[in-house]
Amino acid sequence: MQKRKLGKRNLEVSAIGLGCMGMSFSYAPPFPDKGEMIALMRAAVDRGVTFFDTAEVYGPFTNEELVGEALEPVRDHVVIATKFGFNLNQDGSPGWQGLNSRPERIRQVADASLKRLRTGVIDLFYQHRVDPDVPIEDVAGAVKELIREGKVKHFGLSEAGAQTIRRAHAVQPVAALQSEYSLWWRRPEVEIIPTLEELGIGFVPYSPLGKGFLTGKMDETTEIARGDFRNTLPRFTPEARKANQAVVDLLTRIAKEKGATPAQIALAWLLAQKPWIVPIPGTTKLHRLEENIGAVNVQLTTDDLREIEEAASHIDVQGDRYPEHIEAMTNR
């Protein structure tokens, strides 16, 4: 597995990471067997994956516990990223009761996450969503203290706007930004990516396969199971999926030319954008993990990228990516 550095903070990880959320959260229950997911994460390590992503809100708590148990035997060989920023439901049910990035809450989350992850330090600690009620300088300052104390190694932001990134970076250097980015969500190209490049911050795209749509394994006739969060997303209505099939058709055409899969082309396209971009596709299946990892061996030439760009420029992706109240928490 190739390695990449996330920006200028000496944070080196595998070129493709593993998003662990879907192993115990968001998609339709019942969730996969815990033992199988532990085996999957360890299989990922065996194949060179060193970057694993989780968050306290995934579950809540159960995903961090799963990641902690799976990676404890190989802790010195992996980078674990987790997140803070929500007030969780008091009864332990999935979901949250608003944002909370007050310094005392950040410290509380860090201490609890360390225990669940069975580790002495969090490698990368993201603010999950920007809290408009807490100055970002206070957030960065709180994480700076945790870094000084040795509880955290690197500070990250998620779905933050360019000015917020700059303000945070001035207090505590930001190692990485995690935000959605793929061939069907390209808004970060306008302002975010240039800002990251200027400041020397790495970029970690989540949902690099469009929450499964860009793999070519679903279309407008696919029935999404009850309880699957994609049922709440405007971009996953049957009408939107039918319109957006054009993106998958493009990926499929390039994949045939390259002897690859649509998912591999989607990931290879991301890797080709900048050398400091590290996507974190999620999966619960070993053959999908191996397929995703295989994207690092797919070489897209300048002509390939030009062909993809030209074709994509004629596709008008339909449907908002989130409901309005969720989208309102992004790009702040």
Instruction: Considering the candidates 58, 126, 181, 206, report the single residue annotated as catalytic.
Output: 58
DSSP E strands in the chain: the ranges are 3-5, 12-14, 18-19, 51-53, 79-84, 86-88, 96-99, 122-127, 152-158, 174-180, 202-206
Residue with tokens 């809540």: 60
To the query of whether residue 206 is one of the catalytic residues in this protein, the response is no
Return the structure tokens found at 32.
């996969």
Total count of residues recorded for the chain: 332
Residue 298's SS3 state is coil
Q: Tell me, what DSSP letter sits at residue 288?
A: H
C-beta of residue 156 within 8 angstroms of C-beta of residue 143: no
CA separation for the pair 188, 47 (Å, rounded): 30
Residue 314's SS3 state is coil
For residue 57, give the amino acid letter.
V
Residue 48's SS3 state is coil
Contacts (Cβ under 8 Å, ≥6 apart) of 107: 142, 145, 146
> Residue 189: CA atoms inside 13 Å, Cβ hemisphere, count?
11
Q: Tell me, what DSSP letter sits at residue 276?
A: T
Burial class of residue 255, CB neighbours in 10 A (0-12, 13-18, 19+): buried
Question: Which phi and psi angles does 147 have, rounded to 5°?
Answer: -65, -45
Active centre residues (catalytic): 58
